[in-house]
Amino acid sequence: MANSFALVIDPLSSGNGWMHCWLVVDGRSHYLDATSVFPPFGDVLRFARAIAQNQLPHEFFWDEEGHGVKFQARPLSPRSGRFRLQVTHDGEVVVDAEFDRMQIAGGLLESLRHVALDCPGAESEWQFPYFLIEDFERDLAQGFHKPVRPGLVSTPHFVFNHYSGYGGTQTPAFTIWVDDHPALFMAMDDHAELWQAWFGLLEKIKSGDLPVAVVFKREGEAAAGLFSMFGMEVVFHFQAEPTPKPGQFRLKIIGQHPKIKPAIDQLMLEVILDPQQFVRAFAHSFKQFLETDYLAFLNSAENRFDLRSLPLDRLVS
């Protein structure tokens, strides 16, 4: 029976979409790869959360692109502080033993903290922004007694970064997260009309001037769409609609691939949100982004449209 278990991650080894990791059981190391094609760290955090809450059984597969590790956590009793951990790596049983729930959950959390803090591209390439760690810590401190959100209202987050846009330049972009999952990548580059349209949409959502529909696409270019999370060009149709309950709105996003004929509508997101929370979350992340290395890109003329000219004050007033 195993006496110790740890997941060791080397976030500084990240390169070309791979990262070195080890399962350490009773001092014996079992090497495994993390791949950004199937980023595993969000699944690991959800696994740790399920263990800490004793919401078991819970399992996930750490994909190493065709092979990998199956993690399984099984309950012992409804109130037990212990659980059974089973880990199988490429058919080899690495561990099958009982452990303290909070000890294992805490150890996984600390390993993941290093990824969120130290890994280049953690927020973008590895889809693991630091707010996921903060949310876990907050819920843990509150005993996972989160207030009930009426009508299944989700929590939005916005994660900004620079990505390689047209011509190899680094241009601003952001990912919309819903709860703990990335939902949509918005790469609007330096197109003033797209950023202005986005701020106009947010103003209407904030004021409750709904319904409203906005289409995000590039005009007069061979590639008319924005770049989606998966590198495909997509025209985004945003629809914000009121709901019968006050303090809520329905956000629906439909994607169209301009190079696919005939055009096929793809529902990319449909979710109930708090309008004020949605706008505040964007405004907070946008303000932080402007205070990072954005000015260096602007001063070097690599970014032409000055995002500071956008009416941020209308969103925070």
Q: What's the pLDDT tens digit per position in 191-225?
A: 899 999 999 999 999 999 999 999 998 765 555 56
pLDDT over 70, % of the chain: 90
Phi and psi angles of residue 264, each rounded to the nearest 5 degrees, phi first: -120, 125
Dist CA 7 CA 50 (whole Å): 17
Single out the residue of 203, 200, 198 nearest to residue 217, CA to CA: 198
Name the least confident of 81-95, 209-223, 227-241.
227-241
pLDDT of residue 190: 81
Range name among 36-40, 42-46, 139-143, 225-229 with the lowest pLDDT average = 225-229
Task: Give the tens place of pLDDT for each residue, 171-192.
Answer: 888 999 999 999 998 888 888 9
Residues in the chain: 317
Question: Binning pLDDT at 50, 70 and 90, where does residue 1 land?
Answer: low
Asked whether residue 109 carries a pLDDT value surpassing 80, the answer given is yes
- Asked whether 31 and 12 are in contact (CB, 8 A), the reply is no
Neighbours of 142 (CB within 10 A): 10
Out of 84-88, 119-123, 226-230, 265-269, least confident range: 226-230
Buried b / exposed e across 215-232, counting CB within 10 Å, b at 16+?
ebbbeeeeeebbbbbeee
Q: Supply the pLDDT for residue 223.
A: 52
pLDDT category at 156 given cuts 50, 70, 90 is very high
Distances (CA, A) of 34 to 43, 50, 80, 120: 12, 21, 32, 14
Mean pLDDT (whole number) for 257-265 = 74
CA dist 57 to 74, 165, 244, 285, 317, Å?
A: 5, 43, 37, 35, 46
* Over residues 222-230, mean pLDDT: 55
Q: What are the tens digits of pLDDT across the range 270-308?
A: 999 999 999 999 999 999 999 988 888 888 887 888 999
pLDDT of residue 264: 78
Q: Classify residue 223 by its DSSP letter.
A: S
Q: Name the pTM for this structure.
A: 0.86
- Would you state the pLDDT for residue 229? 47
DSSP state of 48: H
Q: Is the peptide bond before 57 cis (omega within 30 degrees of 0)?
A: yes
Whether residue 39 has pLDDT greater than 60: yes
pLDDT at site 311? 96
Nearest to 216 by CA among 239, 183, 232: 239
